[in-house]
Amino acid sequence: MGLMSEDADPSEQRAVARPAAANAQPGRVTFNRLELHRILNLYGRMVADGEWRDYAIDFLKDRAVFSVFRRASEVPIYRIEKDPRLARKQGMYSVISATGLILRRGHELERVLLVIDRKLAVV
C-alpha cells in the first residue's frame, strides 16, 4: 500500500483506485438504472395482474434484451430491446411480439412501452 497521511480517509483511497465503470462489461450493451426501473415497474404490475410470470435479461454485444414470458417453458410473449446502432435512425428502443413483429420503435423508452402498458395507454 502506498504512503497515506494520518488525515486521509482510507475509503477515499479505495474509491480513487477503482475504475469508473467497474461493473460495466466492455463490448456489451446494457440497460441503465432508469431504464431497468421503468421496465421492472411495468413487469411488476403485469405480474400482479396475473398476465406475466417470468422474465430474462440478455446483454449482448449489439443489444440488450428484456424478454417477458407467460410461462417459463414458452417463447417470450414480448421482447423489449435496446439497440444503440439505431439511436440516430428509428430509435434504439423497440417492443417485439412473440411472432417477431415490431409493435413499436422509438427514441424514448416511456413512449415505446405504452404499446404494452394498457393502464397508461387507456388514461
**Domain extent at residue 61:** 33-122
pLDDT, residue 119, reads 55
Per-residue model confidence as pLDDT tens digits over 29-76? 888 899 999 999 999 988 888 888 889 998 989 889 999 998 766 788
pLDDT, residue 13, reads 47
Supply φ then ψ for residue 118, to 5 degrees: -60, -35
Query: Is 18 within a domain?
Result: no
Query: Is 68 within a domain?
Result: yes
Q: Please state, in angstroms and rounded to a whole number, the distance separating the CA atoms of residues 27 and 82.
A: 14
pLDDT, residue 51, reads 85
Confidence check: pLDDT of 121 > 60:
no
pLDDT, residue 10, reads 46
Q: DSSP character for 62?
A: S
Query: Is 6 within a domain?
Result: no
Better pLDDT: 10 or 115: 115
Q: CA angle at residue 109 from 103 to 115, to 5 degrees?
A: 35
Query: Is 7 within a domain?
Result: no
pLDDT, residue 86, reads 84
Query: Is 69 within a domain?
Result: yes
* Average pLDDT value for residue range 5-24: 48
* Number of structural domains found in the chain: 1
Query: Is 16 within a domain?
Result: no
Q: What is the DSSP string of 68-116?
A: EESSTTS--SEEEEE-GGGTTTT-SEEEEETTS-EEEEES-HHHHHTTT
Per-residue model confidence as pLDDT tens digits over 89-119? 888 899 999 888 999 999 998 999 998 886 5
Confidence check: pLDDT of 9 > 60:
no
Q: Please state, in angstroms and rounded to a whole number, the distance separating the CA atoms of residues 65 and 101.
A: 15
Query: Is 101 within a domain?
Result: yes
Query: Is 12 within a domain?
Result: no
Q: Please state, in angstroms and rounded to a whole number, the distance separating the CA atoms of residues 117 and 18.
A: 39
